[in-house]
Structure 1
Amino acid sequence: MNIIIHPTYFPNIANFTAMLKASKVTLEMHDNYQKQTYRNRTHIYGANGKLQLSIPIIHSQKERQKYSDIKIYNAEKWQLVHWKSLESAYRTSPFFEFFEDDFHPLFTKEFKFLLDFNLKCLELVCDSLQIDLKFSKTEIYEKTISEKTDYRPLANARKETPFSFDAYTQVFGDKHGFISNVSILDLLFNEGTNAVNYLENQSKYL
């Protein structure tokens, strides 16, 4: 199965499940940026439950702006905040220390464009999961897709499908219960290399 999907900020379980079950993944590179999507946000599982991490962007006066042209507002120390949030949430998880040195540089190097940062996040997660996804990139924007399964709607945070994925052990699960479909980082830090087996078993929900 060939799919088309948006590169998002540390994609959630649904996004990675879709990518892992596909024979070929096409990344949408030419769409217009939309607010309230996972292009610049992700959810992790913190001490108080589900926590949203949002990357601040520079807003343009233009009515429409390409996703690839969106710049990150680096005057805010968002990277420091996000990294501290990840440390707080996952320091006691089984695999955080194992992957920590790989992910920390993402939060110290300044990126100009949101899409470039998201692509780097995706690359690093794939390396950590030791999976070799066959990525290609769109050359033009097509609203209607005929030859691929269109998973671009998974990036829409406002109309998110309430997936009930299988439970796995989460750091604060005893306190708040299982929280489904958060960032792939939650699965990676809690399950390590077993994360791939978990994702493969979730394909029945998509």
Structure 2
Amino acid sequence: MSKILVPLPYTGSIELWSHIIKSKTICIEAHDNYQKQTQRNRLYIHGANGKLMLSIPVKHKGEIGHQKYRNVEIDNSSNWKLNHLKSIQIAYRSSPYFEFYEEIFFEIFSSNYSYLFDFNKTIFNKILELLDITTNISFSKVYQPSPLFDDLRKLCEIKKNQNKFELNYNQVFIQKNGFINNLSVIDLLFNVGPTCKSILKKIKL
């Protein structure tokens, strides 16, 4: 793809990152309204009992669907960051490359963020760095209902995440639960490490 418009997710799915890594220009949506039950505040990992969702609690102000994503505040009254870190550690501490990336994510989760957009932006930029993606990246200036380039914003919606591609790599609990496709990109990072980029490029979407 030449240019794509993508959402800013909580880490983002393997499918989304496969699109990103194959594109020449990436525009991140920065003026959309916040929607519940999307990858804006959710990610999925492979835990001991199967697919596990981790959700960032947010403060809802006004009618849902009319609050700007950029203005959504994280509800830090709960210890969600520690819970997410523990879940990730339990799921991946025996994966081949967890020790290479553990400190990076620990540092992010140890920092204080008031807004969901800012927290996700930090993680997004760090994953770009880990995958050595040097593509031209920008943020949208206004909301465009029908952009003139490839619109991938729907990939943030859970129900649109249909796993319509073939992929296979070793996962920590694959013997117990079988292979689980299209999880958070961190599942791929922890399990395959430096080959993550080449795998993302080879996925046929």
Alignment pair present for 1:131 and 2:114: no
Counterpart-to-counterpart distance in 2, 1:16 and 1:52: 19
Counterpart-to-counterpart distance in 2, 1:70 and 1:62: 12
* Partner SS for 1:26: strand
Question: For 1:88, which of 90, 109, 115 is the aligned residue?
Answer: 90
Deviation track 1:73-93 (CA, whole Å, cap 9, x = no partner) reads 001100000000000000000
Counterpart-to-counterpart distance in 2, 1:86 and 1:129: 19
Question: 1:173 maps to which residue?
Answer: 174
Unpaired runs of at least 5, structure 2 = none
Counterpart-to-counterpart distance in 1, 2:136 and 2:171: 30
Counterpart-to-counterpart distance in 1, 2:160 and 2:132: 31
Question: For 1:144, which of 140, 143, 146 is the aligned residue?
Answer: 146
Q: CA deviation at 1:127?
A: 1.4
Q: CA deviation at 1:165?
A: 3.0
Alignment of 1:94-133 (within 5 A): 94-133=96-135
* Partner SS for 1:158: helix
Deviation track 1:25-81 (CA, whole Å, cap 9, x = no partner) reads 000000110111100000000000000000000011245100000000001100000
Amino acid at match of 1:34: Q
TM-score by length of 1: 0.96
Question: For 2:70, which of 68, 71, 82 is the aligned residue?
Answer: 68
1:36–1:158 Cα contact (<8 Å) kept: no
Counterpart-to-counterpart distance in 2, 1:187 and 1:160: 17
1:42–1:53 Cα contact (<8 Å) kept: yes
1:42–1:182 Cα contact (<8 Å) kept: yes
Taking every aligned residue pair, what percent have the same amino acid on both sides? 39
Counterpart-to-counterpart distance in 2, 1:164 and 1:62: 36
Counterpart-to-counterpart distance in 2, 1:5 and 1:130: 18
Q: CA deviation at 1:163?
A: 2.5
Q: CA RMSD in A?
A: 1.0
Moved more, 165-174 or 50-59: 165-174
1:95–1:192 Cα contact (<8 Å) kept: yes
Count of aligned positions: 203
Moved more, 107-116 or 79-88: 107-116
